[in-house]
Amino acid sequence: MQKIDLATQTLREMNATLQAQKDQTNATQWDIENPRGAHAIAVGLDAPIEVTVRGSTGYYCAGMNKQATVHVTGSAGPGVAENMMSGTVIIDGDASQYAGATGRGGLLVIKGNAASRCGISMKGIDIVVQGNIGHMSAFMGQAGNLVVCGDAGDALGDSLYEARLFVRGSVKSLGADCVEKEVRPEHLEILRDLLERAGIDAKPEEFRRYGSARKLYNFDVDNAAAY
């Protein structure tokens, strides 16, 4: 286990050390102590390493993540896992605004609540929230899955493209062009897999699915991967 103490090392030094790790590194376990709400912790990682942040973080924690597993034992500020490409980010507490925004891949797990705009412009990321999410979540969501075990705020899925939204609790209101859809067997399998990977004990059958009515956008869904 490699330890980095942000009480004695700078944020720049910490990120440079983590970013220097490559695919074949033997230093696969990292412990970040005394984060004290610092911003941009563990950003731009591109190696199969595991990073545990012992406390809460500021904005943009684990942004642009590739391959790494980043585990925050506290809460996270705005923009956690923004533009994530692959790997896993786990937040034990709550996440502030636009968690997982523009994410292209990987899995983001929020064990508490997520604030407004969770998963905006998601482009392939999977997001599982054990608690509630705020308003305008999944705005312009293009691809991927957003799973909410609690309730959703106003304007869920506004201007949605092809992202799939699953909510177990209530939805305060749906955004423009977002409608409730049938939950088919393939969707239950997606839910079962994501809940298992997130370590959340919930039944897929308890969720409702929401998606795009496809009346607003002007691209051919068959070419969605090219956009």
pLDDT in tens, the chain (227 residues): 999 999 999 999 999 999 999 888 888 999 999 999 999 999 999 999 999 999 999 999 999 999 999 999 999 999 999 999 999 999 999 999 999 999 999 999 999 999 999 999 999 999 999 999 999 999 999 999 999 999 999 999 999 999 999 999 999 999 999 999 999 999 999 999 999 999 999 999 999 999 999 888 665 667 666 65
Beta bridge partners of 31: 3, 52
Question: Which CATH number applies to 2-215?
Answer: 2.160.20.60
Helix (H, G, I), strand (E, B) or coil at 95: strand
Global pTM reads 0.94
> Cα–Cα–Cα angle for 128, 83, 161, nearest 5°?
70
Going through the chain in order, the beta strands assigned E by DSSP cover 2-5, 29-33, 50-53, 69-72, 88-91, 107-110, 123-129, 143-148, 164-167, 178-181, 208-212
Instruction: Specify whether the CB–CB gap between 172 and 157 falls below 8 A.
Output: no
Q: Indicate the domain borders of the chain.
A: 2-215
Q: What is the DSSP letter of 67?
A: S
